Amino acid sequence: MINVGIIGSTGYAGENVVWILCNHPEAKIIFVNSHSYTNIPFNKIYGNFNGYFEDECISNSDMEDKLSQIDVLFLGLPSGKSFEIVDKANKMGLRVIDMGADFRLKEQKNYESWYGLKHESSHLLQNSVYGLCELNRENIKTARVLANPGCYPTASILAMAPLLKHMLIDNDSIIIDAKSGVSGAGRSASIGNLFCEVNESIKAYAVATHRHTPEIEQELSKFTEKDVFISFTPHLVPMNRGILATCYAKLTKVISEEELNELYSEFYKEEYFVKVLKDLPETRWVKGSNQCHISVRVDKRTNRVIIVSAIDNLMKGAASQAVQNMNIMFGLKETLGLEFFSMAP
C-alpha cells in the first residue's frame, strides 16, 4: 500500500486526486492539506465525498509532522509556492509529484523570465523529471521529484510528437490554437471567471505570452536536432472542463492522411490512454477520464497537417496523469485506478 499526502487538496486538481485515490486499490490517503480550509472536513467543501472521505484538512504545521508517515507527496500549489516543501520532502527521501509549474522548465532563467519569480530550488531542476507518461516513461520510473505536465502542454505535445519524431514538418511552422474550460483557471475567486463574465462568450488570452509556451517548446525540441518555437494561443470557453487543441504545421513531404493515421496509430499502439481516431475529437468524450483523443487531417491545398487533440484539463491534464505517474514510479500497473472512461451525456 502506498501512503499518500496531498498538499493543496481543495483546488480542483487536488480534489480530483483525492477522488481518484479514494478508489485506488493500492493507495491510502494519510492526510489532505489546505491553506484556505484548515480543520474543515473535506466533505464539507466537496459534498460528493459525504460518506466516503470525511477527513479534516490539516494545517501546514500539522502536515509537516506527518511527512514521515507517507511515501509520496502530491502538490497542487500556485507557481512559486512549492520550493520549500519539495526541498524538505526530497531530503527526507519522499517521492514528490508536483502538479504545479515550479519544476517543469529545466532552465532556471526560462522559469524566472516566463513566471516572473525567483526559482528557489534550482539545485533540483536538473534531476527533476518531466512526467508526460507516454513519452518519458523510463525516466519517470526512477524519479524522485516529478513535474506533472501542464494541461495545454499535455494535449499539444501528444498531438505533435509523432510528426517531429519522424521529421515530417517544418519545425518553425507550428501553430497551436487551444481552448479550455473555466476550471483551468483554478478555484480562486476572480471576476474574469464569474458566470456572467464567461457564459455566452469565448475569448483569447495571454496571446504570445502564455506560460505554457516554453514548456511545450522544451519538450517538443527533444524530438529534433533543432530547437522548436511555436505560436500558441489559448482561449477560454464557457464549459467546466476540457481542452481541445488544434495544431497546425507545414509538411516537409507529400504524405496522405491515411499514411499519417497509420503512423500515429503505430506511435501510440501500446498506449492505453491515447486513442487515435478517424472521427474528430470532442471534449465531452474524454471528460472525467485519463484519455487523450487525437485525430489527423491533411490539407492538400496548403500542404499543412492539422492535428486535433482532446483531454480533460483536470484529469489527463492534471490529476489522473499525476496518479498515472505515481503508478509508474512505484512499479504498479500503469492503468491501476484509472480504467474508467467518460460518462455521457
Instruction: Tell the residue number behind the cell numbers 505517474, with chain if given.
Output: 325
CA–CA distance from 272 to each of 98, 143, 217, 277, 288 (Å)? 23, 22, 25, 13, 16
Q: Please tell me whether residue 85 adopts helix, strand or coil conformation.
A: helix
Do 247 and 307 meet the contact criterion of CB atoms below 8 Å apart? yes
Do 10 and 37 meet the contact criterion of CB atoms below 8 Å apart? yes
Annotated catalytic residues are: 151
> What cell was used for 114?
516566463
CA dist 16 and 269 (Å) reads 28
Task: Annotate 291-307 with b (16+ C-beta within 10 A) or e (fewer).
Answer: bbbbbbebeeeeebbbb
Do 75 and 35 meet the contact criterion of CB atoms below 8 Å apart? no
